[in-house]
Structure 1
């Protein structure tokens, strides 16, 4: 039985390292350069799986044996069966996360391939709001905030360049002696297209930190 152990962001990291190594091999790089690229790719991939079992490590380490384009493709395809799905969510679960939003428009959750997402994100143009849903500390968590479209730039979640927006979310925490009108907003530039962002994100620590700052 194949036990899933690769999360979407980890798979994206593997794809990134595969791309770098494949580029070195396909462009006739010096053997020493290829060897250095192999070592770098293997190290970064293994570092992303500190809890991997011995068989899992051996599977991931096969990247150093690859040379041809079809071998790289087969390697990535062989890992897809080990992808750990983002726990599926229902529209009802999402609605419970945002009880004050009476006209909440939820995404089409049945159309999502949960193997290839690290978070669930969507925009509601009518209300000018952006929503993020993630499994934080074992529980489903969601935040919402206003967004202001910007020019192409770097997303704080995936570090990719694309169409971004300034996303501002109001934190729930307040100082002990704060007035009733007190509020604090935290803003970051994020991809408008969560699908593209999910294909690029290689580290969820920034996302988790942002959620922690907003929710607690």
Structure 2
């Protein structure tokens, strides 16, 4: 039985390295250069799974032996059963994450392939708000904030040049001696299209740091 262990952002790392290796195999004539790319790709893939078991490592190491376009495609396809999906949530469960939001508008949850989701994000144009749901410490956490569309820029989550918006969320963390009217907002440039962001994200560090800062959740 296949035990899912590859999270979406880790799959994106594999996909990126496989793409680099495939390009080298197809365009570079110097065998030493190809082998250097091969070694680098395999190293970065293994590095992305520090907790991989002895049963999981052989699957990851297979990436270093691929040579043809068919093998690259087949390898990525073979990873599907090992993808650990983002926990699927119902509209009612999402509403509980935002108790102060009346008539929360949610995306079409039935159209989402949760294997390729690192975080759930959507925009409510009517209220000019952007919502993010992420599983932190084993529990879904929801944050909301104002978004101001801008031109293209670099998303702080996926580090890709995309259509972004300034996402500003009010932090729930308060200093010990804060006044009753204490207010602090945290802003970052974020992909407007969360699907594109989920296809590109390879590190959850910035996302988790942002959510902890907004929710006031300490590191475990």
For the criterion TM > 0.5, the same-fold answer is yes
How far apart are residue 80 of structure 1 and its match? 1.1
State the distance in 2 between where 1:101 and 1:81 align: 37
Distance 1:108 1:187 in 2: 27
Does residue 215 in structure 1 map to residue 215 in structure 2? yes
Matches within 5 A, 1:107-146: 107-146=107-146
- Provide the C-alpha distance between the structure 2 equivalents of 1:85 and 1:180, rounded to a whole number of angstroms: 41
Aligned to 2:24: 24
RMSD: 0.9
2:161 corresponds to 1:166: no
The equivalent of 1:195 in structure 2 is: 195
7-16 vs 172-181, greater mean Cα deviation: 172-181
1:20-39 CA-partner distances (Å, limit 9, x unpaired): 11111100241111111111
Q: How does 1:3-14 map to 2 (within 5 A)?
A: 3-14=3-14
How many residue pairs align between the two structures?
Answer: 216
The residue that corresponds to 1:95 in the other structure is 95
CA distance in 1, matches of 2:195, 2:105: 17
- Where does the alignment leave 5 or more consecutive residues of structure 1 unmatched? none
Which residue of 2 is the match for residue 178 of structure 1?
Answer: 178
1:99-128 superposed Cα distances (whole Å, 9 cap, x missing partner): 111131111212211111001000000000
User: 1:67, CA displacement in angstroms?
Assistant: 1.1
> What is the CA deviation profile of residues 32-62 of structure 1, one whole-angstrom value per residue up to 9, with x for unaligned ones?
1111111111111111111111221111111
**Alpha-carbon distance in structure 2 between the residues aligned to 1:173 and 1:55:** 42
Structure 2, gaps ≥5 residues long: none
The farther-off stretch of 103-112 and 167-176 is 103-112
Separation in 2, partners of 1:80, 1:111: 18
TM-score by length of 2: 0.96
Report the Cα offset of residue 160 of structure 1.
1.3
How far is 1:169 from its partner? 0.4
Q: 1:166 Cα deviation (Å)?
A: 0.4
1:36 maps to 36
3-state SS, counterpart of residue 55 of structure 1: coil
Comparing 26-35 with 166-175, which one deviates more in the overlay?
Answer: 26-35
Change (3 A) 1:34 1:130: same
